[in-house]
Every structure is written in C-alpha cells, then in structure tokens.
Amino acid sequence: MTVIIPGSQRALKVTGPGQFQVSSANAIPTVADDEVLVKVVAVAINPIDGKSAELSPTTGATSGCDFAGSVAQLGSNITKSLKLGDRVCACIFGNNPERLDNGAFSEFVAVPADLVLKIPDSMSYQTAATLGVAVATVGMALYYSLKLPSPLSLKNESRYFLVYGASTAMGTMAIQMAVMSGFSPIAICSPRNYDLVKSLGAVATFDYHSPSCGSEIHDFTNDTLVYALDCIADTSSMTICYKAIGSAGGHYLSLDPFPIRCHTRRSIKPNWISTLTMFNQAVNWQIGYRKEAKPKDRAFGHEWFKTAQELLDNGHVKPHPFKEMIGGLDGIVDGITQVRKSEVSATKLVYTI
C-alpha cells in the first residue's frame, strides 16, 4: 500500500493566550525512528486544549491531543506490529514548545508507535478519537501513581475507590478501570449524570453541590476510603475528597496541580500527574504545570498500552459519550470555547477532519 503525503498541511495553531487560528502551508511532522505518521480522520476536544493555550501559550504551536486516523508512514525502528493503512487512535503533546509542527488538530500527526491503539473493526474513527487521552491518563493515575492491581488481574479488592468528576471522560474511564481492578467505585458528579456512571459500574453516586458531600461519602464507606481520584482539582473538589477519605488516611491524586492550601491532613498523601510525561519530553509550560522528562513514565506507557490494547480488543472499554460536530478544523475553536465555559457536560466534542 502506498500513501501519498503532501508537502504541507492545514493545522490549528496557537496564536496567543487562549487564541487559535487555522493556518495553511504548515510542515508535515518529521517522523522519528520509533514513531508513525498518522493521517488524521477525527479529533476530540479535551479541557487541556484550551487551558494550556490560556495559561502557557506557545505561539505557532499546533493544538490538540486526541485523534484517530490511519497510518501513513512508518518509522525505521518501531516495535509495535503496524502497517500502512492501519486504523489507530492515540494522544499527543499538543501546544508543545519543543515541537511546534506536531499536534492533533491537523491533517497529519507523528506519535510513538507503541503509544497507539489499533481501532477495532466495529468502532468508528469518531468514537476512537475519544479514547487516547483518557486511556493514557487513567493508566498513569491508577496503575503508575496509585499502583492499583492490573485491570487484567481479576482481583477482588473489596474496597472503595472515589472518583470526583466521574462523568468526565477521565472519570468514566477511571470507573471502568477501577471495576476491572476489583474496586467498588463511588462517583461524584451532577445528578443528571448518575445513570451514566452507574451504567459503567459506580456502586454509589453523590452530588458535589451538597454541602455535606464529603461527610456523606465518609459515612457511606464506614471510614474506610483510601483512594480518591480528583478529575477537577479545585478548592471545592479537593476539600470534599479530603473529608471523604477515612481517618487512617490515604491517597489523593489529581489530574491538575492541586491547591496546596487544601492539603489539610498529614495522613493523606497528595499528588498530581500529567499524561504528557509519558512521552519522555520536558513539559516546558509555565511554572505550576512544568515537568521534567521522565524515562520511567515512558517505560510505563510502553507496557500500559499493551494492556490497554488487550482490554480494547476484548470489548472491555466503553468509550465516553460524544457529539459529532460540524466544521472540521475550522469549527474546533468554537468547541474549545464551549468546553472552557463549562457548556459541555458528560460528552466529548468530536470533529471529522
């Protein structure tokens, strides 16, 4: 099979704080030895797309993390069994100060071959575009940071696992993985999304609007809760999680830098992760989000995506609900704005390129 790669491409570029513009005649990313070049078919918006451009914009960088498409070029030293034309999905480091030409919101993207998932024949590109960031992030959170049993282990822990922001794409993936690791997930979200999280395995749901939310969870779990994953990471969410964790203490993990003033219990170990460290590149964003290159995170990603591929192949991963939008690359800015204004709930916005 021969894939014709053009000399240039259209891409959504960061032009200033929270500002974007579709640009033509951009370079196609150069493919490293361990990478594949993917012709993008569909992309999905994540909160980080708008947040990173607002807090740490890199003028000229390509935006976007989540994508699905077909393999257009193979690096010379890839370790995963892939061929031209294979349907794949993944996530990539968008708004990357060190690689301006590479981001999901474009026509072609380069990604490490071992960090892609082959899309099942029964799944559309649009559905698959919702998976990359969630699979990578939840893998890092549950199995690298918190060191839960593998979702392939079939263990029954008979313990609770709290997910704040449970109806987000990260939250719904975390619920599924926690169930497969033998835990009983407790979901904190809006009541309108209770049915969604329960359908994925949540054993109990709580409304974050309730002034007694944390105390209610503490009572429900009989003072035994050890693990809390915070997909929101603000003052309110961290406070609720800390109230919910049992008196013996435990682990609080957020997906963004957490407000340090809310670390009010010495018996709880707080931490936050950035999925971008899975690429073993320094995250040279503004202070607060900056991370050094981490080879161990890259090594974890290599193994985790083998596990994730097996789960996907066996039908154990249910993608997040999504809404297919119109406008292609030209429509993405409106979608980013909707997400930043919290006008989107329990749904990912997906665009066909």
Q: In this structure, is the dihedral angle defined by the CA atoms of residues 192, 256, 308 and 224, taken in order, positive or negative?
A: negative
Out of 45-59, 136-150, 280-294, 308-322, pick the least confident: 280-294
State whether 218 and 177 are in the same domain.
Answer: yes
- Model pLDDT for residues 224-258, shown as the tens digit of each residue: 999 999 999 999 999 999 999 999 999 999 999 99
Of the candidates 242, 273, 304, which is a domain's last residue? 273
Answer whether residue 309 is part of any domain. Answer: no
State whether 140 and 267 are in the same domain.
Answer: yes
Give the mean pLDDT of 190-202. 98
Answer whether residue 49 is part of any domain. Answer: yes
Give the mean pLDDT of 187-191. 98
Q: How confident is the model at residue 158 (pLDDT cuts 50, 70, 90)?
A: confident
3-state secondary structure of 25: strand
Answer whether residue 220 is part of any domain. Answer: yes
d(CA 183, CA 201): 10
At residue 223, the pLDDT reads 98
3-state secondary structure of 92: coil
User: What's the structural domain count of the chain?
Assistant: 2
At residue 286, the pLDDT reads 82
CATH number at residue 97: 3.90.180.10
At residue 290, the pLDDT reads 83
Give the range of the structural domain holding residue 62, as residue numbers without chain letter: 9-131+284-294+319-352
Regarding pTM above 0.75, the answer is yes
State whether 176 and 229 are in the same domain.
Answer: yes
State whether 247 and 222 are in the same domain.
Answer: yes
State whether 199 and 255 are in the same domain.
Answer: yes
Residue 153 has pLDDT above 90, yes or no: no
d(CA 305, CA 103): 20
Residues 27 and 50 sit within 8 Å (Cβ to Cβ): no
Of the candidates 207, 240, 273, which is a domain's last residue? 273
State whether 121 and 106 are in the same domain.
Answer: yes
Please state whether beta strands 35-44 and 348-352 pair in parallel, antiparallel, or not at all (unpaired).
antiparallel
State whether 248 and 334 are in the same domain.
Answer: no
What is the average pLDDT score of the chain?
A: 96
Residue positions counted in the chain: 353
What residues pair up with 43 in beta bridges, in sequence order?
A: 67, 351
Answer whether residue 155 is part of any domain. Answer: yes
